[in-house]
Amino acid sequence: MVFEIRGKHALITGAAAGIGLAYAVELMKNGLAAVVIADIDAKNGAEAATMLNKTYGANKAFFIKTDVTKAEQMDAAFALAVSKFGKLDLVINNAGIMNDANWELEIAINCNAVVQGSLLGMKYMGKNNGGKGGVIVNIASILGLQELEGCPIYVGTKHFVVGLDRSFGSPYFYNLTGIQFLTMCPGVTDTPLISEANRFALKGYPDLGKNLAKGLGALPPQRPENVAQGLIKLITEGENGSVWVSEGGQPIYEVEIPERTTLRKN
- Catalytic residue list contains 23: no
β-pairing verdict for 243-246 and 9-13: unpaired
| Distance set, CA 258 to CA 145, 255, 263 (Å) | 12, 9, 7
Active-site hit among 23, 56, 124, 154: 154
Instruction: For residue 184, give the DSSP letter.
Output: E
CA distance 67 to 109: 9
Kindly list the distances between the CA atom of residue 101 and the CA atoms of 10, 20, 68, 198, in Å, as whole numbers in the listed order: 33, 23, 19, 9
The C-alpha atoms of residue 133 and residue 174 are separated, in whole angstroms, by: 9
Comparing C-alpha atoms, which of 87, 91, 89 is closest to residue 79?
87
Give the residue numbers annotated as catalytic, written as ranges. 154
